[in-house]
Amino acid sequence: MYLHWSKTLAIGLLATFGILMTLFLALGGGEAASALKAHTTRWIILNYAGLLIWVFVWISDQARMRGKNLWVWVVPFLFAPLPTLALFLLYLQQRPK
Protein backbone atom coordinates (compact mmCIF):
# COMPACT_ATOMS: atom_id res chain seq x y z
CA MET A 1 0.00 0.00 0.00
CA TYR A 2 1.33 3.42 -0.96
CA LEU A 3 1.14 6.08 1.74
CA HIS A 4 0.54 9.56 0.37
CA TRP A 5 1.80 12.39 2.57
CA SER A 6 -1.08 14.80 2.92
CA LYS A 7 -1.41 17.79 5.20
CA THR A 8 -4.08 15.99 7.22
CA LEU A 9 -1.84 12.97 7.79
CA ALA A 10 1.18 15.11 8.74
CA ILE A 11 -0.83 17.29 11.12
CA GLY A 12 -2.36 14.19 12.69
CA LEU A 13 1.07 12.61 13.19
CA LEU A 14 2.45 15.83 14.68
CA ALA A 15 -0.52 16.13 17.04
CA THR A 16 -0.11 12.49 18.11
CA PHE A 17 3.59 13.09 18.74
CA GLY A 18 2.80 16.16 20.85
CA ILE A 19 0.17 14.32 22.91
CA LEU A 20 2.46 11.33 23.51
CA MET A 21 5.38 13.57 24.52
CA THR A 22 3.12 15.47 26.92
CA LEU A 23 1.91 12.22 28.49
CA PHE A 24 5.46 10.87 28.68
CA LEU A 25 6.72 14.01 30.44
CA ALA A 26 3.71 14.25 32.76
CA LEU A 27 3.61 10.59 33.82
CA GLY A 28 7.31 9.70 33.78
CA GLY A 29 10.10 10.39 36.19
CA GLY A 30 9.01 8.49 39.29
CA GLU A 31 11.41 7.60 42.09
CA ALA A 32 11.26 3.87 41.34
CA ALA A 33 14.32 2.23 39.79
CA SER A 34 14.15 1.55 36.07
CA ALA A 35 13.31 -1.97 34.95
CA LEU A 36 15.45 -1.62 31.82
CA LYS A 37 18.97 -2.94 31.93
CA ALA A 38 21.80 -0.58 31.05
CA HIS A 39 22.78 -2.41 27.86
CA THR A 40 19.17 -2.36 26.62
CA THR A 41 19.02 1.39 27.15
CA ARG A 42 22.33 1.88 25.33
CA TRP A 43 21.09 -0.30 22.45
CA ILE A 44 17.91 1.78 22.10
CA ILE A 45 19.91 5.04 22.18
CA LEU A 46 22.35 3.70 19.58
CA ASN A 47 19.52 2.72 17.23
CA TYR A 48 17.80 6.09 17.68
CA ALA A 49 21.08 7.92 17.00
CA GLY A 50 21.54 5.87 13.82
CA LEU A 51 18.01 6.73 12.72
CA LEU A 52 18.66 10.43 13.35
CA ILE A 53 21.86 10.34 11.30
CA TRP A 54 20.08 8.58 8.44
CA VAL A 55 17.18 11.06 8.50
CA PHE A 56 19.54 14.06 8.56
CA VAL A 57 21.53 12.69 5.61
CA TRP A 58 18.29 12.14 3.70
CA ILE A 59 17.02 15.65 4.48
CA SER A 60 20.33 17.20 3.42
CA ASP A 61 20.35 15.16 0.19
CA GLN A 62 16.76 16.15 -0.66
CA ALA A 63 17.48 19.82 0.09
CA ARG A 64 20.59 19.73 -2.11
CA MET A 65 18.79 17.99 -5.00
CA ARG A 66 15.89 20.44 -4.92
CA GLY A 67 17.97 23.57 -4.37
CA LYS A 68 16.47 24.30 -0.93
CA ASN A 69 18.27 25.80 2.06
CA LEU A 70 19.32 23.08 4.51
CA TRP A 71 20.44 25.37 7.34
CA VAL A 72 16.87 26.49 8.07
CA TRP A 73 16.06 22.91 9.13
CA VAL A 74 19.12 22.16 11.31
CA VAL A 75 18.02 23.84 14.57
CA PRO A 76 14.47 22.39 14.58
CA PHE A 77 15.98 18.99 13.73
CA LEU A 78 18.21 19.14 16.83
CA PHE A 79 15.21 19.67 19.14
CA ALA A 80 12.51 17.53 17.46
CA PRO A 81 13.87 15.39 14.61
CA LEU A 82 10.80 13.40 13.59
CA PRO A 83 8.30 16.30 13.60
CA THR A 84 10.89 18.31 11.64
CA LEU A 85 11.03 15.48 9.11
CA ALA A 86 7.23 15.60 8.74
CA LEU A 87 7.27 19.38 8.25
CA PHE A 88 10.15 19.07 5.77
CA LEU A 89 8.14 16.57 3.72
CA LEU A 90 5.19 18.98 3.64
CA TYR A 91 7.54 21.80 2.63
CA LEU A 92 8.93 19.76 -0.26
CA GLN A 93 5.41 19.03 -1.53
CA GLN A 94 4.59 22.68 -2.08
CA ARG A 95 4.08 23.56 -5.68
CA PRO A 96 6.68 25.92 -7.14
CA LYS A 97 5.44 29.48 -7.42
**Residue 2 pLDDT:** 43
Q: How confident is the model at residue 31 (pLDDT cuts 50, 70, 90)?
A: low
Query: Residues 41-90: pLDDT tens digits?
Result: 777 788 888 888 888 888 888 888 888 888 888 888 888 888 888 888 88
Q: How far apart are the first and last CA of the chain?
A: 31
Q: Which residue has the higher pLDDT, 82 or 34?
A: 82
Nearest to 18 by CA among 70, 69, 65, 87: 87
Give me Rg for the CA atoms of the chain: 17
Closest by alpha carbon to 88, among 96, 72, 79? 72
CA distance 89 to 34: 36
